[in-house]
Amino acid sequence: MNSRERVLNLIAGKPVDRPPAMPITMMWAADLVGAKYHDYATRAEIQVAGQIAAAQQFGFDHVSVISDPCCEAADLGAAIFYPPDGPPAIIEEKALLADPATLSSLRVPDPHRAGSRMANRIEAVRLLRQQMGDTHLIEGWVEGPCAESADLRGINTLMTDYYDDADFVHALAAFTVDNALKFATAQIEAGADIIGVGDAAASLVGRELYDEFVFPHEQKLIAGIHAAGGKVRLHICGRTSQLADALAKLGCEIVDLDTLVDLRAARTAMGDRQVLLGNIHTVNVVKNGTVDDVRRELAKCRADAGAAWIAGAGCELPRHSPPENVRCFAKI
């Protein structure tokens, strides 16, 4: 059973020889191949080298093109800060949609446009499929409607928009879904098996606002990815316990849960068949803990989550996490 088969079998409810390992690796993978993070995030061939090295040296069952949340926003014209050895970041005080009226002039860009960040990510998917074949699950990545809305509007302003301008919030989310679907479809066509949907900002809204402003747009995005032939991994950083039963209704093949979520309670809320991923502490355990700490916490996650579980941390593996700790994910 190769890595790709292992993940697909688990998703299908079939037996596997061990739980798949799909931790998020970004800065950690860049360091593994001696690359500055700016280059890792913006040059497909470097990201591909980092992902392949991580999978082959540490037994991970997937390779991924996640790098930062600014990819789509950059191609839409948002102001982005690019540090030389850190992740690109939105410049919120220069938010693209500081004036809500600007939304009417935005158009979904061609994700294949030469020199664009989306084209670079699509190329990374293509190279991963070319170089890895069918041995590992190939994971594309897009931003979810809440996260991308925050990137374009400014997260603090968006939070007040929920109360002040409901029509604008829905229009903005609908636009981000249209953009994400076009981008996701291009990645599926390039060889992605599954699309990661990062919607971290959704953890900051209460259940009532989530149900009204986020859930229907996430649902449309996920349905669209499925229609394009891809599977979905939903990743929402932070505390999502209050959203658990709603997340189970989205139909995602995999739902990531951060360290702040009680995995046993989430399993009860989400049912036995939902595949969960996570959720040991990234810093306290993966970076600063011992091998025994990592093994103990992974075993607890497995016991709490049951059979439909994939090994991973609450979020990205931190930079400088000890290799011996990282190797534990694929040795459960």
| Predicted local confidence at residue 144, as pLDDT | 98
**Percent of the chain at pLDDT exceeding 90:** 100
Q: Hunting for tokens 């306290």 — which residue is that?
A: 284
Chain-centre distance for alpha carbon 226: 16
Q: What Å distances lie between residue 163 and 99, 158, 167, 212, CA to CA?
A: 17, 9, 10, 12
pTM, to two decimals: 0.97
Helix or strand (DSSP H, E) at 234: strand 231-235
pLDDT at 263: 97
Q: What is the CATH number that goes with domain 3-11+21-330?
A: 3.20.20.210
Res. 36 pLDDT band, cuts 50 70 90: very high
Q: Which residues contact 277 (CB under 8 A, 6 or more apart)?
A: 22, 233, 254, 255, 256, 257, 309, 310, 311, 312
pLDDT in tens, 43-90: 999 999 999 999 999 999 999 999 999 999 999 999 999 999 999 999
Report pLDDT for 240: 97
Mean pLDDT of 155-163: 97
pLDDT tens across 206-263, in order? 999 999 999 999 999 999 999 999 999 999 999 999 999 999 999 999 999 999 999 9
Average pLDDT along the chain = 98
Q: How confident is the model at residue 28 (pLDDT cuts 50, 70, 90)?
A: very high
